[in-house]
A = this chain, B = another copy of it.
Amino acid sequence: LLNNIRIVLLHTTHPGNIGATARAMKNMGLERLYLVKPKHFPNSEAEARASGATDILENAVVSDTLGDAIADCQLIIGTSARERSLPLPLLTPRDCSSVISREADSAQIAILFGEERTGLTNEQIDYCHYQVMIPANDAYQSLNLAAAVQIIAYELRIAAISPPANQNASPASATASEMEAFYSHLQQVLIEKKFIDPEQPKRLMPKLRRLFTRARPEPEEVNILRGVISALIK
C-alpha cells in the first residue's frame, strides 16, 4: 500500500525540514519523496536531520513544477490548515488514510505539503481531489512541516498495517497529465470562443477544475469529454 504513495514538498525553505521529513517518512514505511523547487537541496543540514534516512534523500525526485512531480498520479491530496475560498472535500488525517487505502493498490497517489510559512497556494490546491486538515489547537495552528508529514504518515502506516475489512475496488482514474491536457484543450477553446477573457480570466478554470476533479474521470471518459469539445466547436 505505502509503495504507491509519494510525499511532495513544494518550495521548501528550510533544508532541515526536508531531512526531518525523510526521517518521518522512513519511520512510517514511506519511501518516495518528491521536491518541487526546494530552496536548498542537496544540503548538509537536510542530511543531518534525516539521521538514518539519507537513502530517502538520495532517491528524492526533484522537479521544477508540481505538474511534473504528479504527472502520473491519479489521486492528489493537499494538506492545508485553512479552509479555502473554493472548498474541496475536507478529510481528517484518519479519513485521508481510509480514502487512500481504498485506492493505493492500483493508483499512484500524491500528498502535497506547501511552503512552510504560506502553505499551499490556490493554484496548487486546484490540482487536489481532497484537502486534508490536521486538527490543531485553534490558538496555535502552525505545525512544523515535518511534524505535519509525521502525522499523515503515521495514519497511513496504521491503515497499512490494519486494512479496513470492506474494500471496494474503484475504477482507475485519469492521471494528472491526462487531466492537464484536457484542461488545456478546454481553456483554449473557451478563449477562442471568448467565454474566457485571457486578460481577465477570473476563477472560471479553477471552478471547472474543481468540478471535474470531484468527478475523478476515467481515462476513457476524458477522451469522451475531449471528443465532445471537438464536436461542439466544429
Contacts and interface: CB of A to CB of B under 8 A. Distances in A.
B140 A26 contact: yes
Interface residues of A, number: 29
A44 interface: no
Contacts of A93: 154
Interface of A: 20, 23-24, 26-29, 51-53, 93-94, 134-137, 140-144, 146-147, 150-151, 154, 157-158, 161
Contacts of A52: 140, 142
A161 B135 contact: yes
- The dominant DSSP class at the A interface is helix
Given A23-B147, A147-B23, A147-B27, A158 B135 contact: yes
Contact of A140 (B53, B134, B141, B161): B53
A157 B92 CA distance: 13
B144 A23 contact: yes
Given A150-B150, A151-B150, A20 B135 contact: no
